[in-house]
């Protein structure tokens, strides 16, 4: 947990539409994480297919999940950010709470602001390997600032 690492966070459309981006960012920065990159962007089918490739064929209740998820993720821009700090991946996921906001405790971001498994405010990388891939997917190298301390 003492190893400095980076993670990708996406403030999803429900977060952006509820105007919670500043509140959520403040909660994350209050934990001592360092902001290394941030931008607002409109996602398209290509980046969403790449980002959600691991669930592209997932079916829930006899309906494919990806078309609904892709449609939702394009309803507004998202805010993408890179945070760094010791154990940031595990710590951010703990601060967010479980993916299903209905199972998240009050005091977690999803417990306080989320609605369900899709409307859950944020995406966060789940491992150092996925963080590395996801950061490269959403940020160019020159958009990451490691020298800001």
Structural contact between residues 70 and 45, judged by C-beta atoms closer than 8 angstroms: yes
Does the pLDDT at position 149 exceed 80?
A: no
Report the mean per-residue pLDDT for the chain.
93
Look up 51 and say whether it is catalytic.
no
CA distance 126 to 117: 16
Residue 94, Cα to own-chain centre: how many angstroms? Answer: 13
Q: 39: alpha, beta or left, given left = phi > 0 and alpha = psi -120 to 50? A: beta
The rounded distance, in Å, linking the Cα atoms of 63 and 83 is 35
Q: Which of 123, 131, 134, 139 is catalytic?
A: 123
Q: Rounded mean pLDDT of 18-37?
A: 97
CATH architecture of 4-143: 2-Layer Sandwich (3.30)
Q: What is the pLDDT of residue 32?
A: 95
Q: Which of 79, 70, 67, 76 is nearest to 47 (CA)?
A: 70
What is the Cα–Cα distance from 84 to 5, expressed in whole angstroms? Answer: 5
State residue 1's pLDDT score. 53
pLDDT for 55 beyond 90? no
State yes or no: pLDDT of 3 exceeds 80. no
Q: Which residues contact 49 (CB under 8 A, 6 or more apart)?
A: 56, 66, 70
Residue 83, pLDDT score = 98
Is 47's pLDDT higher than 60?
A: yes
């Amino acid at each position: 947990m003492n190893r400095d690492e980076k993670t990708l966070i996406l403030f999803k459309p429900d977060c952006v539409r509820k105007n919670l981006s500043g509140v959520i960012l403040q909660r994350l920065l209050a934990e001592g994480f360092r902001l290394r990159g941030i931008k607002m962007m409109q996602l398209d089918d290509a980046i969403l297919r790449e980002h959600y490739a691991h669930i592209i064929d997932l079916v829930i209740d006899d309906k494919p999940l990806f078309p609904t998820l892709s449609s939702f993720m394009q309803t507004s821009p998202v805010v993408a950010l890179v945070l760094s700090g010791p154990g940031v991946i595990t710590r951010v996921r703990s601060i967010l709470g479980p993916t299903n906001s209905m199972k998240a405790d009050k005091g977690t971001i999803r417990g306080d602001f989320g609605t369900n498994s899709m409307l859950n405010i944020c995406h966060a990388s789940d491992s150092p390997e996925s963080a590395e891939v996801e950061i490269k997917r959403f940020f160019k190298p020159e958009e990451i600032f490691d020298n800001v301390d």
